[in-house]
Amino acid sequence: MPSTPLPAAFLPFLLLLSCFASCGSAKSILRTLPDDPSFRLSTGRSRSPNNQYCDSWRLSVETNNAGKWRTLPAKCISYVGAYMNGEKYQSDSDVAAHDALIFAKDLTLAGDGKDIWVFDVDETVLSNAPYYADNGWGSESFNETSFDDWVYQAKAPALPSSIKLYNELLGLGFQVVFLTGRTEIQRNITEQNLLDAGYHSWERLILRGDSDIGKKAVTYKSGKRAELEAEGYRIHGSSGDQWSDLLGLPMAARSFKLPNPMYYIS
């Protein structure tokens, strides 16, 4: 569990939960799934006590008030399904990407190839929502076997807001680094999935090597950021769905938390 207190710079992220102009046009990345009515949030303001509780639970998770949590509350399974399957997830992600882009556009880059943006992979540039849709949306304990089976299919779609941000950042002259908790064994399949999803180039894809196995994500990822900085890279921005993608020194100049109510990684 990250022990660093949340920097004040993260507070604007709370604005994520408000719905901006992109709301109406967002498209679910799970549109191919059957249209299960139990996964549909009622339009307008739902008065369901569960929905209200689960909305608050999600805020607690996203702000890290919840700290370490294992599986989502049983009464929130259909809420999380509706959130992930509906337009709100896309909208929240769009706003995070939009805020990141506003920050990125304001920067003056040195143009020496050392200006980087770090992206996490799972639930950041690639979405495993189709897997979680078939596995209780995070209500079941993590099954490494079935999740790895999914990873080896290399079928995870791109998060639409992230691939858009990725392309904009490349256009602005950033180098992109992917920093993932996946292991070296999964390098090829991860590269294939990234390419198939539309991520055509990157400065580096960093996966857990032998010496990284067993490290907490926050330790592993901040350690890799330290190595990048030691090589002269300037980490302007970082995007991730877990606080452990973002916290720990050195941090990026700005960090952007993407939504994920399905699981927590410390």
Ligand X SMILES: *[C@@H]1O[C@H](CO)[C@@H](O)[C@H](O)[C@H]1NC(C)=O
Distance separating alpha carbons of residues 128 and 216, to the nearest angstrom: 21
Q: Which C-beta is closer to ligand X: that of 36 or that of 140?
A: 140
- The smaller minimum CB distance to ligand X, of residues 132 and 174, is found at 132
Among positions 160-189, residues that touch ligand X (CB under 6 A) are: 188
Query: For residue 188, what are its two tokens?
Result: 């090829």
Task: List, in sequence order, every residue forming a beta bridge with 206; answer none if it has no partner.
Answer: 179
Give the shortest CB-215-to-ligand X separation in angstroms: 21
What CA–CA distance (Å, rounded) separates 121 from 186? 12
Say how far apart CA 227 and CA 32 lie, in whole Å.
41
Establish if 25 lies at the interface with ligand X (CB under 6 A): no
Q: Binding string to ligand X for residues 188 to 207, with x set by CB under 6 A, is what?
A: x-------------------
Residue 145 C-beta: closest distance to ligand X, Å: 4
One-letter-per-residue 3-state SS of 212-244: HCCCCHHHHHHHHHHHHHHCCCEEEEEEECCHH
H helices of the chain, in order, are 49-62, 77-85, 87-105, 129-133, 144-153, 160-172, 187-197, 217-230, 243-246
Measured from the CB atom, the residue of 146 and 201 that comes closer to ligand X is: 146
Residue 48 near ligand X by CB under 6 A: no
Q: Does 3 bind ligand X (CB under 6 A)?
A: no
Contact status: 4 vs ligand X (CB under 6 A): no
Q: Which residue, 91, 124, 160, is CA-closest to 246? A: 124
> Taking CB under 6 A as the criterion, which residues in 127-146 touch ligand X?
143, 145-146
List beta partners, residue 179.
206
Considering the complex, state which of residue 95 and residue 121 has its C-beta at the smaller distance from ligand X. 121
> In the complex, what is the shortest distance from the CB of residue 151 to ligand X, in angstroms, rounded to a whole number?
13
Cα three-residue angle 246-252-138, rounded to 5 degrees: 15
In angstroms, give the least distance from the CB of 146 to ligand X: 4
CB of 121 to ligand X, least distance (A): 17
Q: Does 153 bind ligand X (CB under 6 A)?
A: no
Instruction: Report the residue number, 42 or 143, with the smaller CB distance to ligand X.
Output: 143
Which residues form the interface with ligand X (CB under 6 A)?
A: 143, 145-146, 188
